[in-house]
Amino acid sequence: MKTPTTAEGRTASDASTGYSNSASADLGAARTVLSLMRSIEDIGRDRARGGYSRPVYGSAELELRSWFLEAAAQRDLDVETDRNGIMWAWWYAPGKQRRDAVVTGSHLDSVPGGGAYDGPLGVASSLAAIDVLRDRGFVPSRPIVVAVFPEEEGSRFGVACLGSRLLTGAISPERALALRDGEGVTFAQALTTQGGRGDRIGADRDMLARIGIFLELHVEQGRGLIDLGAPVGVASSILGHGRWRLSAHGQGNHAGTTLMAGRQDAMVAAARTVVAVREIALEHSGARATVGRLQPIPGGTNVIASRVDFWLDVRHAEDAVTAVIVEKIHAEARRLAAEEGCTMELVEESVSGTVHFDATLGLELSVATGGSPMLPTGAGHDAGVLASEVPTAMLFVRNPTGISHSPEELCEDDDARLGTVALADALAHHAG
């Protein structure tokens, strides 16, 4: 059957979505989200782990930052990089004022061996949403800004959402500058290498005052939208979460000459703790506790580890329950370590309380995007940090595998386009 064509030459319906006239034109303009994603598909591929490794200020993330600058320039957006390393690409409203901005965007860094969409989809869809709005002939009455936040994953320096935390003052400059990556490079050194200045980072009230609202689009990192049968959803809340570093200290020694009795094996203390973490989490309904990273020192096959550092991620809707879980884990870890003749210390690296997004904004977003369902998420985002400062909302796009922080993370082309149009609708609603 031939699809009827309108006077403008646009198809009256879209075969893949059943959308009508204007929506079909929007979906056409939203194709740039696909070409933008394709143009970065070879940057930062991790041959060993699969997927992508794009740590902040590493070569891949820097290449993505250049890609963003180029894509913004092609759209005549005016980019400024602030003193915290956040890039802001402005589409001015007539009169060129830089205030009361409708800000969108996301991040370009990834976890080790992460998926293609976590972060970049939010950036690419923001740029493509501008294409959709321009295709409509839309002229913003408030500026629209695409932001890119550094170190959202915390995969290099250990603190998630480092850029937005610096911007809002949720982390002190002193603490941020002293953070070290796996190679011992401090955040201060990495910043200097990129032309940044340690004495200038930190809370930026002027920048925050220019943000009217913040809307972040992100690939969904769970199965919520699969189960709802919806391509796009609106976030209601972010589960409270935190990271702690546990260190088991024992006695390093020779694997062959040290008898099994009387060993002080830090690896055994750590391993028993990892099992206890799961058991303690299971005692609390809705809790999630994970050890996904472990570093034995010195790390030789024929060496009993003298120390093992491992990292704990705990999440629960009630912050008080998170605190109880961590305390229980710490107590049990100390007990298990003592049984192995070891000691155990626990250091908090970052904690974010449960975030409830702006209810009015969320509802408006749901209506503006054709009644998208609202759902909570267990993943942290820069939007969660900004929510304490400005009205904030998030759009999620369906991930058909339900898997994230993994090469298996996925987003169908049609859903990426629908998400882009939903974002364009939301930007038009607020900046029109």
- List of residues contacting Zn ion (CB under 5 A): 118-119
CA distance 9 to 223: 38
CA distances from residue 136 to 52, 131, 320, 368 in whole angstroms, order as listed: 35, 9, 48, 16
Q: Which is closer to Zn ion, CB of 24 or CB of 164? A: 164
Nearest CB to Zn ion, comparing residues 160 and 312: 160
Please report how close the Cβ of residue 411 comes to Zn ion at its closest, in angstroms.
12
Task: Identify the residue whose tokens are 């782990």.
Answer: 49
Closest separation between CB of residue 153 and Zn ion, Å?
A: 7
- Which of 160/326 has CB closer to Zn ion? 160
Q: Residue 186: is it exposed, middle or buried by C-beta count within 10 angstroms (0-12/13-18/19+)?
A: middle
Tokens 């400005």 found at: 390
What gap in Å lies between CA 419 and CA 432, rounded to an integer?
19
**Alpha carbons within 13 A on the beta-carbon side of 335:** 7
- At closest approach, how far in Å is the CB of 183 from Zn ion? 24
Q: Which C-beta is closer to Zn ion: that of 240 or that of 384? A: 384
Sheet containing strand 240-249, edge to edge, reads 288-297, 307-316, 240-249, 343-352
Q: How far is the CB of 109 from Zn ion (least distance, A)?
A: 9
CB of 383 to Zn ion, least distance (A): 10
Which residue, 341 or 402, is less far from Zn ion as judged by CB?
Answer: 402
In the complex, minimum distance from the CB of residue 120 to Zn ion, in angstroms, rounded to a whole number: 9
Torsion of the alpha carbons at 268, 272, 274 and 277, rounded to the nearest 10: -160
What minimum distance in Å lies between the beta carbon of 329 and Zn ion?
A: 26
Closest contact distance (angstroms) between CB of 331 and Zn ion is 33
State which residue, 215 or 329, has the beta carbon closest to Zn ion: 215
Q: How far apart are CA 10 and CA 21, in angstroms?
A: 7
Shortest distance, CB of residue 424 to Zn ion, whole angstroms? 20
The token duo for 109 is 């860094």
Answer yes or no: are the C-beta atoms of 32 and 415 closer than 8 Å. Answer: no
Quote the least distance from Cβ 218 to Zn ion, whole Å.
6
Task: Check: CB of residue 389 under 8 Å from CB of residue 208.
Answer: yes
Length of the chain: 432
Rounded to the nearest 5 degrees, what angle is found at the Cα of 408, between the Cα atoms of 406 and 414? 125
* Least separation in angstroms between CB 106 and Zn ion: 6
Give the nearer residue to Zn ion in terms of CB position, either 242 or 384.
Answer: 384
Q: Which is nearer to Zn ion, 119 or 173 (CB)?
A: 119
Q: Which is nearer to Zn ion, 119 or 143 (CB)?
A: 119
Residue entry with tokens 């094996």: 265
The residue among 132, 101, 85, 106 whose CA lies nearest residue 394 is: 106
Contact 344, 337 (CB under 8 A): yes
b/e 246-282 (16+ beta carbons within 10 angstroms → b) = bbbbbbbeeeeebeeeebbbbbbbbbbbeebbeebbe
Q: By beta-carbon distance, which residue lies closest to Zn ion? A: 118
Q: Which is nearer to Zn ion, 27 or 235 (CB)?
A: 235
Instruction: Compute CA 357 distance to the chain's CA centroid, rounded to the nearest angstrom.
Output: 16
Cβ-based nearer residue to Zn ion, 118 or 389: 118
**Tokens at 2, concatenated:** 């031939």
